[in-house]
Structure 1
Amino acid sequence: MELNWELCRIFYQVARCRNFSRAAAMLFTSQPAVSRSMAALERELGCRLFIRNRRGVELTPEGRIFYAHVEAGCEQFRRGREELAQAVGLQSGSIAIGASETALRGWVLSRLERFHALYPGVKLRMYGGTSFEAMEELKSGAIDFAVAAISGGVFRSLKETRLCEFRDVFVASEAFSDLKDRPVPLEEVMRHPFICHRRGTLTFEFLSGICKEHGLDFEPAMEPETSDLVIDLVRHGFGIGFVPEQAAEEALRRGDVFALNIAEDIPPRSISLLEYEGHTLSLAARRLRDMLTEDASLPDPRPDA
């Protein structure tokens, strides 16, 4: 005899609720419909499954035996459905993320490459621009999360997961060889033409804040869009550049530029993943977020963490 699966599903809910009315509410049907279904199941099985009491119903000894098997089947079905949903969710769908140039170079790209190799069916949409622009996209709901190079406490309304720490450096070409091999005060650097990311970027705001702390004017001679352009302009002798250290590594290794030994301490910054606490992410977006954060090397910045 092949049992009706729908009757078994209703039985499972009644056995869990121990009440026909509550089970009906869970199943979005009526109490009489549940009663008729259980009567039909008892006829099929040839035994009573429930005994009524003041609070509702309880299982008979035969009902307990049957419930043990139905429960196992329902749980297997639930787990199978979840695993299938996960498999389907990672075979298709799309993820939109915002990432600044520094975050891409310093953390995101290598992990994004690994994610794409594992889940090639997931479409990746990347929003570039500055960290501030990425935050606007996050607020509007255009992206799932953002990864940006920040200094502490810039975006207090967002959940921040700190991923890694990095430092910025001042670099110059041989046109400024008199600044080599000695401590150089920040005030002396600012007397020369200097080159920084354009206004509206976190790098610009970061260096501007440092100069303000030391009572120095901040007027860059040039404000290019990217770190590569900063390095190119420095290489050609147009001024002293300020860039994240990893962006200058290749030029430093080749000897095209050299790093200044700044007398004052330039505090480190972090690359952080930023998201809204209440924003619901798709399965694919959650998996990418986990891959981006799984080997984070910095503690959570929240005081109660």
Structure 2
Amino acid sequence: MGVSETALNIFLLSKLEQFHKAYPQVKIKLSNHSSIQAVDALEKGIVDIAIVTSPITIKKPLRAPSLYCFEEVLIGGKEYESLSNQILDIQQISYYPFITLGKNTSTYTYYSNLFLNHQIPFHTDLEVATADQILPLVKHNLGIGFYPKELISKDSDIFEIHTNIKNPERDILLVQDASRATNIATQKFIDTLSL
């Protein structure tokens, strides 16, 4: 399966554990991809399913039901601690160094559209390849960035920065190709996802 890192860390790990306990003889191959790359691998028949984060463009015969909804919050390191006592608007956010995933990701598209919908140019100061790189960069005061709330530990060096915009809600999606038959092991795994 093609899996985005955020989907793996927020949702999929516990499901993999469940599945492995129920079917220890089944071999699993995970391919770490951006959401866009995972869907591309599915379209090319390289993977059986993709588990990714929204937003993502899906064309028939693909389908992508939501498995889980998660919230992202704006965070900063110790140098940005004073911002945690304020409520920033999106214009104010744009004045600070911003850390996000790279241009060819659904996350970048999501935040680019969020800023553009408020007529604010979207600029990034640090673009990273994977979501797990955001947290240490924020912790070392290289900028602020949105990060899944569930993945933020109770770290005294990380502060939530409140905004007057609704915290972004995104989905973890199961992407399947409806034109291809699903093998038994994959179907059992899909069944585990809904438990």
Match of residue 57 from structure 2: 154
Tell me by how many angstroms 1:166 deviates: 0.6
Match of 1:241 in 2: 145
Residue 266 of structure 1: how far off its partner (Å): 3.4
Alpha-carbon distance in structure 2 between the residues aligned to 1:138 and 1:145:
6
In the alignment, the residues of structure 1 paired with residue 99 and residue 180 of structure 2 have an alpha-carbon distance, to the nearest angstrom, of 38
TM-score by length of 1: 0.61
1:123 pairs with 2:27? yes
Quick check: 1:264 aligned with 2:165? yes
In structure 2, the partner of 1:286 is 187
- Distance, in Å, in 2 between the alignment partners of 1:186 and 1:275 is 36
Q: Which structure is larger by alpha-carbon Rg, 1 or 2?
A: 1
How far does residue 103 in structure 1 lie from its aligned partner after superposition? 0.6
Q: Distance in 1 between matches of 2:182 and 2:87?
A: 48
- Which one of 187, 200, 203 corresponds to residue 107 of structure 2? 203
- 2: distance between equivalents of 1:288 and 1:188? 44
Q: How far is the alpha carbon of 1:198 from its aligned partner?
A: 1.6
Structure 1: 4+ residue segments shifted above 3 A: none
Larger proportion of helix: 1
Is 1:167 the counterpart of 2:68? The answer is: no
Match of 1:212 in 2: 116
Gaps of 5+ in 2: none
SS of 1:243 mapped into structure 2: strand
Task: State the Cα deviation string for residues 106-134 of structure 1 (Å, max 9, x = none).
Answer: 11111111212222221111111200000
Letter in 2 for 1:162: S
Q: Give the superposition deviation at 1:156.
A: 4.1
TM-score where L is the length of structure 2:
0.94
- Give the structure 2 partner of residue 58 of structure 1: none
- Cα distance, 1:217 vs. partner? 1.3
Partner SS for 1:167: strand
Structure 1 gaps, min length 5: 1-96, 296-305
Structure with greater proportional strand content: 2
SS in 2 for 1:169: strand
Q: Return the alpha-carbon distance in structure 2 between the equivalents of residues 221 and 128 of structure 1.
A: 25
Q: Deviations over 1:186-234 (max 9, x none)?
A: 1111111110112211111111110110111112110112222111111
Contact 2:88 2:162 in 1 (8 A): yes
